């Protein structure tokens, strides 16, 4: 059982198909997918949006180049698009879990205008040192630990070899390695070009 103590995100399927998952939920594994999938795990801040530090409002959110197109292309290639993001701003008291959920719904709305969608969002609100209350724990979900990725593999019945994780930090690569999936370091430029390159190795 993963040490994810979110109260707001206990498996809610929101409108517009966004899923926010409490990765400690014991009841969720049978409710998402009935057949195996391949997953494109994507970090959020620094990969899908410019990392302005602790982004939680739509007016702070700036899409990275061709990030929306990348998500649509992945869906068209039969990938499940899953965001795995550390959100210690919750634990630090800068914003709430509800804010993370609201921004995810806003992102989904933006994507639907071009026929794209996110299949699931996992976020870790914890920090082992700089957090308050129940959020101050050494959890299993905060990257570089692989908890969010492992849960995604379980929920979507995916094989590690059929998945990859595009992230912009060393901790993302360490999480991918620990989960046994391909880690791809995003260093800027077109996100669409980045996912196309890595997806070729999973066909």
Catalytic sites, residue numbers? 43, 45
> How far is residue 30's CA from residue 70's CA, in Å, rounded to a whole number?
28
Alpha helices by DSSP H, 114-183: 147-155, 170-179
Cα–Cα nearest to 80, from 180, 187, 163:
163
Please say whether the beta carbons of 121 and 85 come within 8 A.
Answer: yes
CA 23 to chain centre: 12
> How far is residue 145's CA from residue 170's CA, in Å, rounded to a whole number?
12
> Among all chains, which residue has been given the structure tokens 């879990």?
97
Q: What is the DSSP letter of 87?
A: -
Find the angle CA(161)-CA(164)-CA(165) to the nearest 5 degrees: 145
CA 154 to chain centre: 15
As given in the structure block, the two tokens for residue 188 are: 């800027």
Please say whether the beta carbons of 153 and 107 come within 8 A.
Answer: no
């Amino acid at each position: 059982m993963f040490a994810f103590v979110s109260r707001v995100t206990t498996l809610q399927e929101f409108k517009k198909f966004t899923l926010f998952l409490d990765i400690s939920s014991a009841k969720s594994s049978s409710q998402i997918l009935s057949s195996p999938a391949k997953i494109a795990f994507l970090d959020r801040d620094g990969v899908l949006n410019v990392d302005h530090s602790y982004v939680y409002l739509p007016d702070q959110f700036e899409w990275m180049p061709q990030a929306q197109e990348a998500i649509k292309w992945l869906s068209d290639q039969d990938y499940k698009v899953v965001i795995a993001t550390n959100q210690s701003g919750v634990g630090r008291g800068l914003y709430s879990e509800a804010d993370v959920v609201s921004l995810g719904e806003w992102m989904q709305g933006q994507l639907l205008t071009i026929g794209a969608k996110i299949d699931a969002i996992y976020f870790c609100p914890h920090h082992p040192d700089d957090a308050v209350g129940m959020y101050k724990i050494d959890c299993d979900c905060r990257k570089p630990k692989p908890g969010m990725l492992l849960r995604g593999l379980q929920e979507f019945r995916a094989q590690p070899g059929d998945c990859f994780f595009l992230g912009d930090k060393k901790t993302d690569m360490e999480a991918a390695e620990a989960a046994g999936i391909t880690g791809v370091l995003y260093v800027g430029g077109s996100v669409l070009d980045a996912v196309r390159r890595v997806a070729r190795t999973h066909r």
